[in-house]
Amino acid sequence: MDHVVVVGAGLAGVRSIEALRAGGFTGRITLIGEEHHRPYDRPPLSKAVLLGETDSTVVDSDLDALDVRLCLGTAAKGLRDGVLETTEGELEYDGLVIATGATPIRLRGEGRQHVLRTIEDALALRERLVPGARVAVVGAGWIGAEVATAAAKAGCAVTVVEAGESPLAVALGPAVGSHTTDWYARAGVELRLGAMVGTVDPDGLTLMSGARVPADVVVTGVGVRPAVDWLKGSAVRLDDGVVVDEHLRTSLPNVVAVGDCANWWSRRFRTRLRVEHWDTALQAPDTAAATLLGEEAVYDPVPYFWSEQFGHMVQFAGHREAGDRMVLRGDPRRDAKWSVCWLTADDRLAAVLTVDRPRDVVQGRKIIESGRRLDPLRVADAAVALRDC
């Protein structure tokens, strides 16, 4: 293999290049990125950048030392066997990494709506988070909660409009999500649950019910879609992202996919997973690069992510299914720190969520990896370390 092209200059893209070089690849590497920036980290955009603590989150990677040809401001448009079509012309490849991430979903309406995906998005929003500004955030998911945290800290009058019956209902289920409802009130944020947005208007939101939410600033945080439209019509199979096997191989030879856009087969959980979190973009490229270099590598992680909201560190590891049994560690109504474990029918740990209890997530992740059984009664006792359950 002489020439590898990496499409998407985000974390997964740059990590793929590092992994290829670490794996001994000495051929040419070209990095194609639609944005005009060198690869940067996105998690700080809704935290340190919005809070005004930093303006730059560039990934600490020496692309010059990695001997990469950088093509920024260039978008991939299509793919044939061995040829990538871009806005700047065609490019032949021997190996290809698809790492084009995801794009935010927008709502209907004529009004201006901010989304939060790029550094430009974050800087533009930060400028408008001034004391007294009326900010309507649509969606009480991970991004919505972090934006509401920053906006409230900036002295804005914040309303969060959420279609579900609790915050984080989609990610964690309403029973767990409802334990975060108080966080909004304590931060002075108004939370409207069960409210569907109809349109974004120049002066706020109109709900499906006809009610209005007046606002100077509207932020939409209702999820993302994998950025794979450019692959439509190619031989790469798409289904909620790029479909890859456990080696991160796509349906086209010598083409792999990683990060937010990749929908991989998980041996461990016996299902397909597409995980839109930082740790996946960081780790999966090791497997993708090894696969391209002809090694037998399998990607089979216990997914992990974190969120910082309303002064709490929220962490999650694993993968939960609808039938898993929830066991609380601590009482969220009384205790500042608590966790939730999801156990399978045969008492194995499927997933763990922790609120300011980092030890539980570290130990829980190892237990999920081991696949061993737990004693549910001990799990329910927050005084017993999870590793001793």
Give the binding site for ligand FAD (CB under 6 A): 7-13, 32-35, 42-43, 45-46, 75-76, 99-102, 116-117, 143, 227, 230, 259-260, 276-279, 281, 305-307
Alpha helices in the chain (DSSP H): 11-22, 119-128, 142-153, 169-172, 174-177, 181-186, 278-292, 358-370, 376-379
Query: 124-129 — which CB contacts under 8 Å span 24+ positions?
Result: 125/50, 125/217, 125/219, 126/49, 126/50, 126/52, 128/216, 128/217, 129/50, 129/154, 129/156, 129/217
Q: Which of 356, 351, 354, 347 is nearest to 378 (CA)?
A: 347
Residue 198 vs 223, nearer CB to ligand FAD: 223
Strands 102-104 and 224-226: antiparallel
Q: How far apart are CA 67 and CA 70, in angstroms?
A: 9
* CB distance 280 to 259 below 8 Å: yes
Taking the complex as a whole, the smallest distance from the CB of residue 258 to ligand FAD amounts, in Å, to: 7
Residue 116 vs 238, nearer CB to ligand FAD: 116
Q: How far apart are CA 199 and CA 197, in angstroms?
A: 6
Give the length of the chain. Answer: 389
Cα end-to-end distance, the chain, whole Å: 49
Taking the complex as a whole, the smallest distance from the CB of residue 353 to ligand FAD amounts, in Å, to: 13
Taking CA 144 as the corner, what is the angle to CA 139 and CA 150, rounded to the nearest 5 degrees? 150
Q: CB atoms < 10 A from the CB of 128, how many? A: 16
List the structure tokens of 161: 């409009």
Residue 47 vs 247, nearer CB to ligand FAD: 47
Q: CB atoms < 10 A from the CB of 63, how many? A: 18
Q: CB atoms < 10 A from the CB of 181, how many? A: 16
Residue 57 vs 166, nearer CB to ligand FAD: 57
Residue 118 vs 199, nearer CB to ligand FAD: 118
Taking the complex as a whole, the smallest distance from the CB of residue 170 to ligand FAD amounts, in Å, to: 16
